[in-house]
Structure 1
C-alpha cells in the first residue's frame, strides 16, 4: 500500500519524537498508535539511556494497547514508527494482535549506516518485521524521511 498524506503526517510526528529522544540523550526512535478513526491514542520515544535496552516505544505501544484497547481495536489500529521494529517489538506487535505498521526507515538502512560509520553490530540480528510477524501488514520505508533520520542517527553515532 502506498503511503498517503495521513501516513506521512504521522511519520513526521515520529521523527519529531525521535529528535526529542536524541535531545534527551537517548536513541532516536519515536512511535505512535493511531486508532481506526484516525485518533492518536498513544505516543512514546526510546527510553533506553538508563540501561534498560527493552524500553522501545513500539514495545510500550504493545503493552499499552493490551491495557486500553479491545482485541478488535488493536487489530484495526496502525503503529507508525521512525524505524522498523526490532525483533522484540515485532514479536510483541504480533502477540498482542496490533494491525498495520508504517515505518520511516528500515532496519536494513540503519544497519548499513552503522556499518558505514564503523560502529559495532547490534547484539540482536536486524530482521525484517515480516520474518517475525508474517501476518502483519507493513509499509515503509518512506524516502522523504531517510535524510532526517540518517542525520539523527549520525548525531547519536558521533556523540553530538
Structure 2
C-alpha cells in the first residue's frame, strides 16, 4: 500500500531522474529513507560517464552498507523512479535493505524501449522479486509512471 508519505519520497526520486536527464544522463533517481522518515541518501544515474554500473540504487546499497547497521538497513525504504535492474536488485539484497517503492515497473521500461525501437539492454529485464525473492515491493504508481515514461522517451 502506497501512502501520501510514500508519494512525497517517490516524487523526489522522479525529480532526481529529471535532474539526471538535465545532466545528459539516463533518467533514473532513488532515495533512501530511514524508518523514522529521514532522507539518508539520494542519487541519480551517472552512466553517461561510460560506467554502466553507476545506478543510484547501487550507490544507495554501497552507502547503506558503509553507514547503517543491519537493522537500520532492513527498516529503511528505497524509493526509486524505475524498478531496480537485476544488478541493483542483487545489491539491494546483499546489503539487506528493506522495502522498495517504485514509480515505474520493469515491464513499462521494456514496453517503452520497444515503442522507441531501441534494442534490448545488456541485462535481462527481470522484476525485483525474480532476483530477490521475498522482497517487499510496492508500485508502480500510474501518475508518476507516466511522468517517468516521458523522461525516458526524452533521453
Deviation, structure 1 residue 135: 2.2
TM-score of the superposition, structure 2-length normalised?
0.99
Query: How many equivalent pairs are there?
Result: 155
Q: Secondary structure at the match of 1:18?
A: helix
Q: Hey, which bits of structure 1, 4+ residues long, moved more than 4 A?
A: none
Q: Secondary structure at the match of 2:43?
A: strand
* Distance in 2, Cα, partners of 1:122 & 1:4: 32
Aligned to 2:71: 72
Aligned to 1:43: 42
**Root-mean-square deviation over aligned CA pairs:** 0.6
TM-score of the superposition, structure 1-length normalised?
0.96
Q: Secondary structure at the match of 2:124?
A: coil
Q: 59-68 or 143-152, which moves further after superposition?
A: 143-152
Deviation, structure 1 residue 136: 1.6
* Distance in 1, Cα, partners of 2:141 & 2:6: 9
Gaps of 5+ in 2: none
* Distance in 1, Cα, partners of 2:105 & 2:146: 13
Gaps of 5+ in 1: none
* Distance in 1, Cα, partners of 2:145 & 2:65: 31
Residues 22-65 of structure 1 deviation map (CA, whole Å, 9 limit, x = unaligned)? 00000000000000000000000000001000000001000000
